[in-house]
Copies of this chain bind each other. A is one copy, B any other.
Amino acid sequence: MATDDLETLRQRLATFAADRDWDQFHAPKNLAMALIAECAELVEHFQWLNEEQSTALSPEKMAAVRLELADILIYLVRISDKLNVDLLAAARDKIAINEKRYPTEKVRGDARRASEYEI
Contacts and interface: CB of A to CB of B under 8 A. Distances in A.
Interface of A: 2, 4-6, 9, 12-13, 16, 19-22, 24-25, 27-30, 32-37, 39-55, 57, 62, 65-67, 69-77, 79-80, 82-83, 85, 87-95, 97-99, 102, 104, 107-109, 111, 114-115, 118-119
A47 to B, nearest CB: 4
A62 to B, nearest CB: 7
6 contacts: A2-B2, A4-B89, A20-B108, A36-B36, A48-B114, A62-B83
Contacts of A104: 19-20
Given A28-B55, A51-B27, A88 B37 contact: no
The dominant DSSP class at the A interface is: helix
A114 B22 contact: yes
Contacts of A32: 33, 39, 42-43, 45-46, 54
A93 B49 CA distance: 26
Contacts of A66: 83, 85, 90, 93
Contact of A76 (B13, B33, B73, B82): B73
